[in-house]
Chain A
Amino acid sequence: MDFGQIIVNGLVLGALYACLAVGFSLVWGVLNVINMLHGSFIVLGGYLAFFAWQSFGVHPLIMLPIVALLLFGIGYLVQFLFINKVVTAPVLTTLTLTFGLDMILYNIMTVYFSATPRRVTLDLGGISFLGVDMPIDRLLGMALALILTGVLFYVMRASRIGRAIVAVRMDRAAAALMGIRVNHVYAITFGIGALMAGAAGVIFAMVFPVTTNLTGMYLGKAFVVCVIGGLGSVPGALVGGLALGLIESISGHFFGPQHSLTIGFLLMLILLVVKPTGLVGKKGYE
């Protein structure tokens, strides 16, 4: 395969990974909670888009905002009802709690959706440019992923709620004194995390087959992207996502695609030990 093709494949995949991981990074950075539900949120988003498309013929582009809003609601409730109560507890508690919630959600999904792989096939054809072939649905997915990530970046910088989230991240107590309702902000943050996961799920359903067995893999990718890029920043997730996409594409070419996840995890372990802040990580969420 041509080297240009490998790079382009990697970048397209990387943009999807960035969108997949940015919500996870937000929740981890702001709430200091590792959200084990993230992979299931992505699969849930993918399934909702698939069933709307198959049963009612709704185009995924129309489903994208609906799924995103729905998952925002679910995320808000999960944080408000459960995680807010233990948000300051040690890592083991929050991690185990989200894992327990994930097992419930995963079980519901396997019972109602089964584990059969399904995919939305849009048949948009492909384009060829300078010897690089690319299906249009992938390019569309990449564009959507980049737009969503960009919107989140803008929201975090410019909007009132974005500033409130940054304030709570910097100093929980001081933010509360300034009249910010911390629990509400936490729930919104978690909701945004779930929203991004759901939207990423819709995009993934347009490009790859969705099955409930993928929850663990998506979660693993989110871990790797966050650690490579650095925690708690939109540019960090973007850099981490693109880096992982390129690494997977290049290593998949040399060692075979079945090893791409191993290599991602190995790199993550090495980076964790050598430079735990990631490539562009910094304190504070911006």
Chain B
Amino acid sequence: MSRLGLGLFVLWVLLLATTPLHADNYIVRTAIMIAMYSSLALSWNFIGGYTGYPSFATVAFFGVGCYVGGIAQRNGVPMFLAWTLATIVVAAFAAALGAIILRLKGHYFAIGSIAVVEVCRLVISSWRSVTGGGDGLNIPLLRWSPDEVAIFYLMVMIGIMLITFALNVFVDRHRLGFGLHCIRQNEDAANMVGINTTLYKVVAFTLSAMFCGTTGAVYASWVGYIDPTDAFSILMTVKVPVMVLLGGPGTVLGPVLGAGTFVILEEIFWANFLDWNRAVLGGIIVFLIFFLPGGLLKVSYRKVVNRLRGAEGVRS
């Protein structure tokens, strides 16, 4: 990560954090969503970016986090404790699950991770007595003014985003990150030169899950109502990996760039093409794969600028 990159990141965080001072509630809400999706994308980066395992299980961890946090709060657990509890439960769940499904590779891993989402969704939908089933759950709201509530959740989401970002920087520099890169290149070779691939993969998988749990629990407290279709949204299964691919997988700044760009694009399209929202999202994916295979970070901006200048030169 260059000094310029870090500077831009700090500016971006400041811009998000100061939205309540100079923008209306809609923009603040968008800023919260950006911070939330940035945390999810940064989390996914551990497994999908560094290790190259095509995991689609992010939304399972988000949804389980929603429900653990929500159920704990309904039973009188204080909010912060409920969030911590969700983090711990999801981390433990991911570690146990990872030890099992990380034995799979390629397509089988992808399908296994999709199946995990479905099983979690179906278990929560049918476990009526605890989760309220399809009727969903109401979660106690904060008794503050709407502006204060928005600022509070904005700060919390930005906090989680900064933690996941710091973890990404740490892993990137630590030998764990090196080991994960090796696994992406050639897992058998990495194993042979003495990298404990099983341990590294489980650690990456757990890291990719635990803060999705926190984010889910915070999201549940923020919106005050969750149901299985919302907490385990099919679209989110693919949105998060697409954000990372859009920014640049396996880098520290890529997920943040991708999540920000994606949420802003989505808001614009939501406002203008409500009926065609999914098709536009699909179009973005197709465009991304054909024209931006390495993500926005890999685009050579100098070349783009030069080409634009060249075109101007021809015109004048």
Q: Which residues of A contact B (CB under 8 A)?
A: 28, 32, 34, 82, 85-86, 90-93, 95-97, 99-104, 106-108, 110-111, 216, 220, 223, 227, 258-259, 261-262, 265-266, 268-269, 272-273, 276
Contact = CB atoms under 8 A, between A and B. Distances in A.
Interface string B74-118: 000000000000000000000000001101101110111011101
30 contacts: A34-B110, A34-B111, A82-B286, A90-B52, A91-B110, A92-B54, A95-B107, A95-B110, A96-B245, A99-B238, A100-B282, A101-B282, A101-B286, A103-B281, A103-B282, A106-B278, A107-B275, A107-B277, A107-B279, A110-B278, A216-B234, A223-B115, A259-B122, A262-B118, A262-B119, A262-B126, A265-B119, A269-B101, A272-B104, A272-B111
Given A265-B115, A273-B100, A107 B285 contact: no
Interface in B277-295: 277-279, 281-286, 288-290, 293
Contacts of B104: 272-273, 276
Contacts of A92: 48, 52, 54, 110, 241, 245
Nearest to B109: A91
A29 B289 CA distance: 23
Given A86-B289, A262-B126, A269-B119, A223 B114 contact: yes
B109 to A, nearest CB: 8
A258 B115 contact: no
A106 B282 CA distance: 10
Contacts of A107: 275-279, 282
Given A97-B289, A103-B285, A108 B279 contact: yes
Chain B facing A: main interface SS:
helix
A216 B237 CA distance: 13
Contacts of B52: 90, 92
A216 B278 CA distance: 14
A211 to B, nearest CB: 15
B242 interface: yes
A213 to B, nearest CB: 11
Contacts of B123: 262
A87 to B, nearest CB: 12
Nearest to A93: B289
B119 A266 contact: yes
Contacts of B241: 92, 96
Contacts of A106: 278
